[in-house]
Amino acid sequence: MAGATEAAVSAWWPRPLVAAVDSLNRRGGAVAVRLVRYTGKSREAIHPKHLVDAPWHHWYVDYLQAGDVVLDVGCANGAHTLAAAGRARRVFGMDADVTQLGIAVAAARRRGMDNVRLLAWDVTQPFPFPPGTFDAVLFLDVIEHLEPRVAVLREIRRVLKPRGRLLLSAPHRDTSWRRRLRAAGLFAFSDADHKVEYSRDSLLAELAGGGFTPTEPVMPVVYDTPLAGLIDVVGGLALAPYARLVRWKRAAALRHPEESIGFRIVARSRPGAGS
């Protein structure tokens, strides 16, 4: 059956066509980031997804409370750190990329956010915080870039309070487009730096290995379309049509969660899990 499926994929999507679409798709995000700055939409070179009103993009904010102390692991340019800081009492962001941290620092200063602390740190090393420091930890589209991963999850568990929340997102490997790429013999991960991408079951297994269990159903993100790069370029040029296209991607993922580009998970420490 698998062979027949791959043959059908090849018939409808010859390898050169798949390769051409994939190349354009992968370049679109980087082009969009440059266009955002060139067209004056942002002082920093950031993705247009950070500039449109898409509440699901900051889905984790709904799981934060006013008195929370939050850690953003792998915070990059601080977009999620600052969104969390608008709800929580204090937010710490850490990342090894000092250039991206500089963007985060500048954005926090412009907004007058004095409840944000940012530090340069290799997140695969033990965190510089005592046990039970945080009410919530953001781990958003970072785990797939790391090795080792379970050790980092266990470190997150260590610094969380006993009833603390892990708010995690990670990429999905089994959408139709990812399978089409594999059938064409092409690299199928959504980012060249990814060390892993997940099925739902493999992600839950890795979370369990780190001592976590979901407290809610696994949620979809946005639809995995080969036109995503083109949509990103639209965002670099004009935010209004981009926002409409992003809403379409979100609605499509809700209708077809098996085609979501990734997963979103709310989890807590698993009772009885070891350190």
CA distance 44 to 13: 38
The answer to whether residue 274 is domain-embedded is no
C-alpha dihedral over 196, 201, 204, 206, to 10 degrees? -40
User: What residues make up the domain containing 91?
Assistant: 2-269
pLDDT tens-place string over residues 214-232: 999 999 999 999 999 999 9
Residue 28, both tokens:
């679109």
Q: Give a yes or no: residue 214 inside a domain.
A: yes
pLDDT at 193: 95
Sequence-distant (≥ 6) Cβ neighbours of residue 181 within 8 angstroms: 18, 22, 187, 188
Q: Is residue 58 part of a domain?
A: yes
| pLDDT tens-digit map of 88-114 | 999 999 999 999 999 999 999 999 999
Does the pLDDT value for residue 3 go beyond 70? no
**For position 247, which CATH number holds?**
3.40.50.150
Average pLDDT over residues 163-185: 96
Q: What is the DSSP letter of 77?
A: T
Rounded average pLDDT over 250-268: 97
Q: What integer pLDDT is reported at residue 275 of this predicted model?
A: 55
In a domain, 12, yes or no: yes
Q: What is the DSSP letter of 60?
A: G
Please give the structure tokens belonging to residue 252. 């499509």
Which residues does residue 136 pair with via DSSP β-bridges, in sequence order?
70, 165
